[in-house]
Structure 1
Amino acid sequence: MTEGLIIELGDRDMMVVAGLPGAGKSTMLGHAAGALAVLDSDEVRGRLRTALPAATPYRYYRPIVHVWHRFRVAAAAAFGRGPVVVHEPSTRATTRAWLAVLGAVTRRPVRMLWLDVTAEEAIAGQRGRGRVLRARSFERHARRAARMREALLAERVPPGWRSAQILTRSAADTAALVGSPGGRERLRPT
């Protein structure tokens, strides 16, 4: 990894790495340092995929993946030690509201890193990982993401969230998430 942004998380932070499917969230989470609890729905999907018959289409077990992922996020927020890092598109207002409530109940400041990519870049990212969303599903994500991007550019942080920061794909590709013993989030270039 080339030099880039180091994102230090406070002891109780819940950092949500958000953006369109294919924006690079999983790639960025691959740069999270050692002791951070990183919750990526792809882990759940992988476990279920190996437990089910090979020909089972994802659309049949997608609801289970989402429920299991949310359960893991809630458990980590409630019972985990140190910061929690979550992979979640967060294009839906209801998802953002749920995360804000979860943060309030567990006394974790909820922060967002929004990976800002075009729809074309996201589709290329999906193709690169070998998993492309159906057109209608992606279009819904893209419409909601456009509204989220507009709000973030106007510096409107989602209700109940401590902060929201926009990162470009290239910045996300070289960013690293690390736990900070000092307890405060800091963003600093290396």
Structure 2
Amino acid sequence: MSTIWPQGRTITVKRTTSARTTAFAAGSGIALPAQPGARTREACSRQPAPVVRDLRERAGRSPHGLLFGPRDLVVVTGLPGSGKSTLMKRAVPGVRIDSQDTRDRWDARMPRLLPYALYRPLVRLAHYAGLRRALRGGGGVVVHDCGTQAWVRDWLARAARRRGGALHLIVLDVGADAALRGQRERGRGVSRYAFLRHRRAAARLLRSVEKGRLPEGCGSAVLLDRPAADVLRRIGFTG
């Protein structure tokens, strides 16, 4: 199916358990081909099959908004420098948890000559503490994810189930060269070793999502390239 999105269109994503329905709005972009055995797995499971929507290669003619359920959790993932923080600052009017925001707050308090590596563990602790507080609130939350720590997604999937919502992925498919340029533009990067580790993890996740195989506990995924991310103006929650 190939559908050209009208300007200003918003996708509403609904993901629920057996007593409810899982769906995207009608006309939701390019549906990935059905995977072998998908119908069998769906028939044998009480949980609905994961939903993947590919909004790449639309030349900017993609939705301006993504709406999720009121208790859902949304993870924005991609390479360092791919534009995750920029997208979240522009498009998330509600609660967003971004490790970069936590680091910026700590950087402002620390002596300028103090290496970040010395207080990095404290920044991470503060970030996860903030995430835990946000999850206790019960409302929808958008979370920045570097892609290398699968345990964070597992934690979020469990939290989403407990609160009666679902976990969703927004995957930024931005190449390594563009991500490195993004790091230079923001004046802050990661080491070569760390970037290679992120790149391998991001490639594995992208290949898996493209085949319709989402991480355990994840109900849906949206694939974005840079043009699709650039036109996205709202990531929000219904209710």
Please classify the TM superposition score into its range, dividing by the shorter chain length.
0.7 to 0.9
Write out per-residue CA displacement over residues 6-61 of structure 1, whole angstroms, 9 at most, x where no aligned residue: 11122111111111111110111122253x10111121111111111111112222
Aligned residue number for residue 19 of structure 1: 78
Q: Does the 8 Å contact 2:75/2:168 carry over to 1?
A: yes
Give the secondary-structure state (helix, strand or coil) at the position aligned to 2:170: strand
Match status 1:83 vs 2:140? yes
Q: Does the 8 Å contact 2:135/2:141 carry over to 1?
A: yes
Aligned residue number for residue 30 of structure 1: 89
Aligned residue number for residue 118 of structure 2: 60
Match status 1:161 vs 2:218? yes
AA in 2 matched with 1:159: E
Give the distance between the partners of 1:120 and 1:87, measured in 2 at CA.
Answer: 21
Asked which structure has the greater RCO (Cα within 8 Å, sep 6+), the reply is: 1
Q: Count residues with an aligned counterpart.
A: 179
Q: Does the 8 Å contact 2:67/2:238 carry over to 1?
A: no
Give the distance between the partners of 1:17 and 1:54, measured in 2 at CA.
Answer: 30
Aligned residue number for residue 188 of structure 1: none
Unaligned runs of 5+ residues in structure 1 are 183-190
CA apart distance, 1:180: 4.0
Write out per-residue CA displacement over residues 85-125 of structure 1, whole angstroms, 9 at most, x where no aligned residue: 11112233223222222323343311110101111111111
Q: Does the 8 Å contact 2:78/2:147 carry over to 1?
A: yes
> 1:1-190 residue pairs with structure 2 within 5 A?
4-5=62-63, 6-34=65-93, 36-80=94-138, 82-182=139-239
Runs of 4+ in structure 1 deviating by more than 4 angstroms, as ranges, are none
Alignment TM-score, normalising by the size of structure 2: 0.69
AA in 1 matched with 2:155: W
Q: Does the 8 Å contact 2:92/2:235 carry over to 1?
A: yes
Unaligned runs of 5+ residues in structure 2 are 1-6, 9-61
Give the CA RMSD over aligned residues.
1.8
